[in-house]
Structure 1
Amino acid sequence: MTEIEQLLTQVAAQARTSRPWGWPSLPKPVEPAAPARAEAALGFALPPLLASLYSRIADGGFGPEYGLLPLLDSPPSGEPAAVAQYLTNREEGRKDPDWPWPEGVLPISHWGCGMYACVDCRTPEATVLLYEPNADEADHAWYVDAPSLTDWLHAWLEGTGWYEESNDGMDLEPWADFRSRTTPSPTP
């Protein structure tokens, strides 16, 4: 069994036995065509591990704190799905150039108070970022939560994430690529 298969097995077991805040039950996985539909709406590919989480485990409702957002359809709680939240954030970022939303950065989990865990779908390792909009300016609102989606999932499974009470005060590194990923390239 590959490392990714082992990780998916561990995540599935944890997902079946824990319920994040606001999720009464674990949703079914998305239909096989859903990741492709999400990619068409987003305009970029989902990391394979993220697509597998949705298609093999559940359409959200598992993971740290409030759990993963559903991929395409909003849950009964009314929380936007990941694709809809991304599209909304990109549109709002176009309206307010002081708070741009980076292309290819998909919100996957809501932390409350406008904070999101996001996957950078443009990196091969699927870096997980923390968006913390309560900062004074957008340059100080983005942090590297985990170098990869694999590491982020392991932190949840092992109880070592920054959000755990035992890790109170754990500092996250600022996301150095924010400005380069939100500043338009000069036209030749």
Structure 2
Amino acid sequence: MTENEQLWARAAAKAATTRPWGWPSLPDPVDAATVARAEAALGFRLPPLLADLYLRIGDGGFGPEYGLLPLFDTSPAGEPAAVTQYLAHREGGREDPDWPWPEGVLPISHWGCAMYACVDCHSPEGTVLLFEPNSGDPDHAWFVDAPSLGHWLRSWLDGTGWYGALDDDLGLHPWTEFRIRTTATGRTTP
């Protein structure tokens, strides 16, 4: 069994027995056509592990705090789907160039207070980022939550994620690629 298969099996077992806030039950997994439709709408491929979570466990409804967002459907708590969130954030960045959204960074989980866990779908390892805009400064709103989606899932499974800490210091490092990866009108923002 590969490392990803072991991780998937652990995540599936926990997803079967725990519900994030607002989710009464685990949704059915999506089919390959739904993943393909999401990738077409987004304009990029999902990292294989993320696609497998949706294909093999459920269309959201598991994971830390409010859980993974569904790909297309609104969550039971009223949170828009991952694809909808991404497209809205990208459009919002065109409308407000002070808050551009990086290309290929898919919101996958809402933390509350406008904060999101996001996967950098353009990074080979699927780096997980924290978008925390409450400072009011877009240059200080992005942090590296985990070096890979696998690490992020393991921290949820092991109970070692930053969101379990009781202090205000998250101990996360800024994501230095934010300005390099944002485009307001099809060009890189300086």
TM range (shorter): over 0.9
Aligned length: 186
Aligned to 1:116: 116
Classify 1:7/1:169 alpha carbon distance in 2 versus 1 (closer, same or farther; 3 Å): same
Identify which range, 24-33 or 118-127, moves more after superposition. Answer: 24-33
Q: Report the secondary structure of 2:75's partner residue.
A: coil
| TM alignment of 1:1-188, pairs within 5 A | 1-165=1-165, 169-183=169-183, 184-185=187-188
Structure 2 gap ranges (5+): none
2:21 aligns to what SS in structure 1? Answer: coil
Contact 2:22/2:76, CA 8 A, preserved across alignment:
no
Provide, for residues 41-85 of structure 1, a one-character-per-residue CA deviation record: whole Å limited to 9, x for no partner: 000010000000001000000000000000112234321000000
Using the alignment, how far apart are the partners of 2:32 and 2:66 within structure 1? 25
What is the letter of the counterpart of residue 19 of structure 2?
R
- Residue 165 of structure 1 deviates from its aligned partner by 3.4
Deviation at 1:115, TM superposition (A): 0.4
**In 2 relative to 1, CA 76–22 (structure 1 residues): closer, same or farther, beyond 3 Å?**
closer
Question: What is the CA-CA distance between 1:144 and the residue it aligns to?
Answer: 0.2
Residue type at the aligned position of 2:12:
A
| Rounded Cα–Cα distance in structure 2 between residues aligned with 1:159 and 1:168 | 18
Deviations 1:129-185 (A, max 9, x none): 000011231010000000000000000000000000357633100001001111524
CA contact (8 A) 1:66 1:110 kept: yes
Which residue identity is paired with 1:18?
Answer: T
SS in 2 for 1:33: helix
Any idea what SS the aligned residue of 2:117 has?
strand
* Identity over aligned pairs, percent: 70
RMSD between aligned residues:
1.4
Change in CA separation of 1:6 and 1:166 when aligned onto 2, cut-off 3 Å:
farther
The 1-side partners of 2:94 and 2:176 are apart by 21
The aligned amino acid for 1:149 is: L
Letter in 1 for 2:118: C
Comparing 169-178 with 58-67, greater Cα deviation is found at: 169-178
Unaligned stretches of 5+ residues in structure 1: none
